[in-house]
Structure 1
Amino acid sequence: MQIATREFVYILDVIQLSGKAPHLWQEILDVIQLSGKAPHLWQELGNFLFNNCDILKLGFSFTSDTSIIIHSLPHLSFNQHAGFLDVLSLWKQIEKNPNIKLPYEVQSGGPSLSTLVHLCLGRPLDKSDQFSNWEKRPLRQSQLEYAALDAYCLIQVYDVLKSCSEAVGFPFDDTCYNLMSTTKFKKKKSKTPTKSQR
């Protein structure tokens, strides 16, 4: 799990940490400025960050990532109206306005994060580690760099989208608010049949 701020990127190795002692969890939470001890530290992280409406959370096509996180880490208890902004949805809204011009042009490429990064920052993301073996430990330096950039680039892209939108009078903040108000996270359906299915 990657958590990026303007100053730092934190990579929480969920697989590696899940078998470690609780004091290690506390050290990690202290790093991201959580105080106090809690029996369920994931829940504390969820309340501090993921369920905090005052912290804007950026993602690109949230649905698959959040469904995996919700399934794997149920104590995070995502609140679907707690400041989550899907940058893909924002990009689609911005594209509807012909007056908004992003700094760079890309001849080809679908609606991917790499394409959007190229349009905003002038270079595509290096996706060579995207399909590498993420379960093998230790993670390679290139994997850590990929994970960090994958999260951090969203902040830079958001800033470019905002400045380009505001330059032509596009209601950027209102658009973001409307998108965040309609964000919904899908939970995986139980495979156990209900009485009506039996």
Structure 2
Amino acid sequence: MEAGYSEKVDELCRRYSLEGFMKTIDPETIPSETHYLHLNELVLEDIIWVDEVEGLLSATSHIEGCKVVGIDCEWKPNYEKGSQPSKVSIMQIASEKSVFIIDLIRLFEDEPNALGSCLKRILHSPSILKLGYNLQCDLKQLAHSYGELECFKHFEMLLDIQNVFKEARGGLSGLAKKILGAGLNKTRRNSNWEQRPLSPNQLEYAALDAAVLIHIFRHVRSQSQPASVKGGQSNVEWKSYIISSMDDTKKPKNMVKRKKKWKKCTVVSSQSN
């Protein structure tokens, strides 16, 4: 409530039957709404939901024509101690103008071979640079969720934006605020990503998490010394963080800068990004 997340307050009140709670709140004690990044500010043309083979093939063809894409994943949080983590529910893949939100659960149930084949064309491609934030945690979660699929056992051309800006605080939202002038509304991160259909707010959140990576990367690539982040990396140096090949989400291979390694990450039941 103090952070101004009125939507989350409403959700928790409903979950825990706190009917009288909101009546006790003094509206003047609630801070004015923080400005968050919106999709229209990123000039996106399409958010495309993909849950059948025809759409998956179309999305794959589009993505194969891109040099750089942003990738993110969402899964339902599980707070029960000792329980297995939830399967990754969706994978978002963003190009400059479009975001494809792939229903992994549905496609894995209906067309696992097609899903594995299409994602292999993207994730194993050495000609497509895949951007992420805290990327290895997502990759571990994907491998844990869909270990039967070969597409999640090998990756080519990865760049974890988190490693380029190690000093940035506040996660991806904090980095977006420093680079783009507005952060991300993360209140929907722990919502139920297995519900279908996803709400418009969930779709916007998912699309933003992937699309913002493209815009941050554009800034990194175009600025020899990013002014928005103190101690930013040079235009030449960011290339040294690219991981050319990685198998089974273990230690990266063929890294240009050997001393830069993945941070240790374990499979967890809720997202850390």
SS at match of 1:178: helix
Amino acid at match of 1:121: L
Deviation at 1:126, TM superposition (A): 1.1
Deviation at 1:17, TM superposition (A): 3.1
Aligned to 2:243: 181
Structure 1 stretches of 4+ with a deviation exceeding 6 A read none
Tell me how far apart the structure 1 counterparts of residues 114 and 238 of structure 2 sit (CA, whole Å). Answer: 30
1:71 paired with 2:134, answer no
Deviation at 1:138, TM superposition (A): 1.6
Deviation at 1:166, TM superposition (A): 5.6
Aligned to 2:114: 41
Aligned to 1:110: 169
Deviation at 1:171, TM superposition (A): 4.6
Q: How many residue pairs get matched?
A: 154
TM-score, normalized by length of structure 2? 0.50
Unaligned runs of 5+ in 2: 1-90, 228-232, 252-264, 267-273
Amino acid at match of 1:85: L
Amino acid at match of 1:123: A
Aligned to 1:172: 235
Native 8 Å contact 2:163 2:241 kept in 1: yes
Native 8 Å contact 1:60 1:87 kept in 2: yes
Q: Where is the strand percentage greater, Structure 1 or Structure 2?
A: 2
Identity level (%): 32
Structure 1 residues 181 and 136, CA gap change in structure 2 (3 angstroms): closer
Amino acid at match of 1:156: H
Aligned to 1:154: 213
Deviation at 1:71, TM superposition (A): 1.8
TM-score, normalized by length of structure 1? 0.67
| CA displacement 1:92-121 (0-9 Å, x = unmatched) | 2xx6xxxxxxxxxxxxx8241001100111
| CA displacement 1:39-88 (0-9 Å, x = unmatched) | x22332233110111001000011211001112233213434x1100000
Structure 1 vs Structure 2 CA RMSD: 2.8
SS at match of 2:198: coil
| CA displacement 1:126-169 (0-9 Å, x = unmatched) | 1121111112222111001100010000000111122223679x
Q: Where is the helix percentage greater, Structure 1 or Structure 2?
A: 1
Aligned to 1:11: 101
Unaligned runs of 5+ in 1: 26-39, 96-108, 190-198
1:85 paired with 2:144, answer no
Deviation at 1:182, TM superposition (A): 7.5
Structure with greater contact order relative to length (CA < 8 Å, sep ≥ 6): 1
Tell me how far apart the structure 2 counterparts of residues 135 and 181 of structure 1 sit (CA, whole Å). Answer: 31
SS at match of 1:42: helix
